[in-house]
């Protein structure tokens, strides 16, 4: 009899785990993949920037996994509100959580919650068509936007704000977002990094793109590129990412401004200490930093010198963190499920892979090795007789039917996918996303009483 495994979350970690499980012969495995959204692929669909269509091509591998015997998808099913962890443990021999890091880290500074101050996660979800974020209103009627952070998400936000209407047109950016960005009076997008150029977390391909935009140019002050001895040593130690980044920054610093309508200004060694404004964002107060060696780690230390930067919009991009799920152990400090190699500690037959296992690090492909590690332990436990057999007369679909839940099966997702692609074809776009719960569920499930949306 096949081992029945539930995978919670349908992003890269979930699909890599499913693929590894479905390839097993000892024991044979059947996988039910469960997601609170009606659509699979996680951040590949809703996190990767719309102008990075080549990165989204990884979904073709996920489609092959979904076509394997023993795979099923259940969308619009949320663990915690629709079904409980305890119910899943009764239905499945093992449960694997691949739910990612679903919220943003806080700055913890005054004014962080002023209107006009947003987590970058919300902005990304808005322009990518996440159905939970389409009612948000981003006021782009400002000449300067400040992006706090120096990672790839920060660069994505800065680049998206700098794209022209012609650059946005062939992407799957939602129409409201594309129209708002193209019509915005934004002249300057300012990226703030608390440490120096060598410590920046963005990667060279993303940094290089800033120099190839039709309507914007990167601006770097050569004075910001001076390096202390520790940073020089770090530059030599990381000649792939850090050295390539630094060379690009030097190139940008040496360019003569072309007078393009928008500028992306990269600044280093500054940290926000307050977001200022009476009724909404009016400025960001920053402190200048210096780099110090703290037990072999290069850290930013405030100098006491401050500066006020006027702006009308702030996007906070200082990292993601996981959120707890009812009935499953969670470590608040790390924002992950406590685990050893993927075995969740304190929960029977429960496993984790991806960001909820290790924290928000790495690229899409990093999840493949991570998921393989978790699956190897799960199969080891199965072969050792540590995973309970389940009653084959019970099933998830019977439980959902009993609860009156409208769930989206994989065929329903394929209907959504086909409708989106068909809408995009006459406009030479990869797809026009269905971005409302109503549209997704009516296409994926067919007519019927709309299931309640869960927050």
For the stretch 416-445, pLDDT in tens is: 999 999 999 999 999 999 999 999 999 998
Residue carrying the six token digits 């702030």: 314
Q: Are 188 and 329 in the same domain?
A: no
pLDDT one-digit tens code per residue, 266-300: 999 999 999 999 999 999 999 999 988 887 788 89
Residue 454 falls inside a structural domain: no
Q: How confident is the model at residue 451 (pLDDT cuts 50, 70, 90)?
A: very low
The token pair that represents 337 in the structure block: 């499920």
Same domain, 226 and 311: yes
Residue predicted with more confidence, 3 or 451: 3
Rounded to 5°, the CA angle 196-190-270 comes to: 35
Residues linked to residue 275 through DSSP beta bridges, in sequence order = 284
Does residue 190 form part of some domain?
A: yes
What one-character-per-residue DSSP string does 292-314 give? EEETTEEEEEEEEEEEEEE-SEE
In a domain, residue 327? The reply is yes
pLDDT band for position 238 (cuts 50, 70, 90): confident
What is the C-alpha to C-alpha distance for residues 114 and 132, in angstroms, rounded to an integer? Answer: 21
Q: Nearest 5°: phi and psi at 173?
A: -55, 140
Domain that holds residue 263: 105-319
Give the pLDDT band of residue 452 (cuts 50, 70, 90): very low
* CATH assignment of the domain containing 84: 3.40.50.720
pLDDT at 267: 97
Residue 455 lies in a domain: no
- One domain for residues 273 and 248: yes
The reply to whether 256 and 362 lie within a common domain is: no
Q: How many CB atoms lie within 10 A of CB 416?
A: 24
Q: Are residues 291 and 392 in the same domain?
A: no
Q: Residue 124 is part of a domain; what is its CATH number? A: 3.50.50.60
Answer yes or no: do 290 and 352 share one domain.
no
What is the Cα Rg of the chain in Å? 23
pLDDT score at 191: 98
How confident is the prediction for the chain on average, in pLDDT?
93
Give me 184's structure tokens: 């915005």
DSSP one-letter string for 101-146: --EEPP---TTTTSTTEEEHHHHHHHHHT-TTSTT------SSEEE
> How are the residues of the chain apportioned to helix, strand and coil, as percentages rounded to the nearest 5?
35, 20, 40
pLDDT tier at 447 (50, 70, 90 boundaries)?
low
**Do 197 and 119 fall into the same domain?**
yes
Q: Are residues 310 and 186 in the same domain?
A: yes
For the segment 53-58, the average pLDDT, to the nearest whole number, is 87
Let me know if 313 is exposed, middle or buried by CB neighbors in 10 A (0-12, 13-18, 19+): buried
Do 19 and 144 reside in the same domain of the chain?
no
Residues 6 or more apart in contact with residue 347 via CB below 8 angstroms: 85, 328, 329
Residue 455 has pLDDT above 50, yes or no: no
Let me know whether 339 and 241 are in one domain.
Answer: no
Is 373 within the bounds of a domain? yes
Number of domains composing the chain = 2
Question: Span 328-341, mean pLDDT?
Answer: 93
Domain boundary among 296, 319, 342: 319
Q: How many CB atoms lie within 10 A of CB 88?
A: 22
Q: What is the pTM of this model?
A: 0.92
Confidence of residue 446 (pLDDT cuts 50, 70, 90): low
What is the pLDDT confidence band of residue 57, given thresholds at 50, 70 and 90? confident
Residues forming a β-bridge with 95: 6, 350
**Final residue of a structural domain among 319, 350, 378:** 319
Whether 428 maps to a domain, the answer reads yes
Residue found by looking up tokens 């057999």 in the block:
389
Weakest-pLDDT range from 25-34, 112-121, 314-323, 410-419: 314-323
Q: What is the pLDDT of residue 454?
A: 42
Q: What pLDDT was estimated at residue 63?
A: 96
Of 275, 292, 319, the domain-final residue:
319
pLDDT at 214 over 90: yes
Same domain, 69 and 147: no
- Is 362 domain-assigned? yes
Determine the average pLDDT of the residues in 216-240. Answer: 89
Question: Which residues have C-beta within 8 Å of that of residue 359, sequence separation ≥ 6?
Answer: 101, 321, 322, 334, 335, 336
DSSP output for 329-371 = --BTTTTB--EETTEETTSTTEEE-THHHH-S-S-TTHHHHHH
Cis? peptide before 333, omega within 30° of 0 = no
357-414 tens-digit pLDDT? 998 887 888 899 999 999 999 999 999 999 977 766 789 999 999 999 999 999 999 9
Residue 314's pLDDT band, with cuts at 50, 70 and 90, is very high
The predicted structure's pLDDT at residue 294? 83
Residue 259 and residue 133 share a domain: yes
> What's the mean pLDDT in 179-187?
97
pLDDT score recorded for residue 392? 66
**Mean pLDDT computed over 142-150:** 97
CA distance 88 to 410: 20
On whether residue 224 sits in a domain, the answer given is yes
């Amino acid at each position: 009899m096949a081992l029945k495994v539930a995978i919670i979350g349908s992003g890269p970690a979930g699909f890599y785990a499913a693929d590894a499980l479905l390839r097993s012969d000892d024991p044979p495995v059947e996988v039910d993949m469960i997601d609170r959204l009606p659509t699979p692929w996680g951040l590949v669909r809703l996190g990767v920037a719309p102008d990075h269509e080549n990165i989204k091509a990884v979904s073709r591998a996920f489609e092959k996994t979904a076509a394997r015997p023993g795979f099923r998808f259940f969308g619009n099913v949320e663990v915690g509100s629709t079904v409980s962890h305890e119910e899943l443990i009764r239905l499945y021999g093992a449960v694997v959580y691949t739910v990612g890091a679903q919220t943003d880290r806080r700055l913890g500074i005054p004014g962080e919650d002023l209107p006009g101050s947003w987590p970058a996660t919300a902005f990304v979800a808005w322009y990518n068509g996440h159905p939970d974020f389409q009612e948000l209103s981003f006021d782009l009627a400002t000449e300067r936007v400040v992006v706090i952070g120096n990672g790839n998400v920060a660069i994505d936000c800065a680049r998206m704000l700098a794209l022209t209407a012609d650059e946005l047109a062939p992407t799957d950016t939602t129409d409201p977002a594309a129209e708002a960005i193209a019509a915005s009076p934004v002249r300057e997008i300012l990226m703030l990094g608390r440490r120096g150029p060598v410590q920046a977390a963005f990667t060279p391909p993303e940094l290089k793109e800033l120099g190839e935009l039709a309507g914007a140019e990167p601006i770097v002050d050569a004075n910001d590129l001076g390096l202390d001895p520790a940073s020089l040593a770090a530059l030599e130690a990381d000649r792939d990412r850090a050295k390539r980044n630094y060379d690009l920054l030097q190139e940008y610093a040496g360019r003569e401004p072309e007078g393009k309508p928008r500028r992306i200004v990269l600044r280093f060694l500054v940290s926000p200490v307050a977001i200022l404004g009476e009724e909404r964002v009016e400025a960001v107060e920053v402190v200048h930093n210096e780099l110090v060696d703290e037990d072999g780690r290069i850290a930013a230390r405030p100098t006491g010198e401050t500066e006020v930067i006027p702006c009308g919009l702030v996007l906070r991009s200082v990292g993601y963190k996981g959120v707890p799920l009812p009935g499953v152990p969670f470590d608040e400090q790390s924002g992950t499920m406590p685990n050893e190699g993927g075995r969740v500690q304190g929960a029977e037959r429960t496993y984790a892979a991806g960001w909820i296992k290790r924290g928000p690090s790495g690229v899409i492909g990093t999840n493949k090795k991570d998921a393989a590690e978790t699956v190897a332990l799960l199969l080891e436990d199965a072969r050792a007789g540590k995973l309970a057999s389940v009653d084959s007369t019970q099933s998830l679909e019977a439980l959902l039917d009993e609860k009156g839940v409208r769930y989206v099966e994989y065929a329903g997702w394929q209907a959504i996918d086909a409708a989106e692609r068909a809408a995009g074809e006459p406009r030479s776009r990869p797809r026009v996303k269905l971005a409302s719960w109503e549209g997704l569920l009516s296409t994926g499930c067919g007519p019927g009483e709309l299931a309640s949306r869960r927050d």
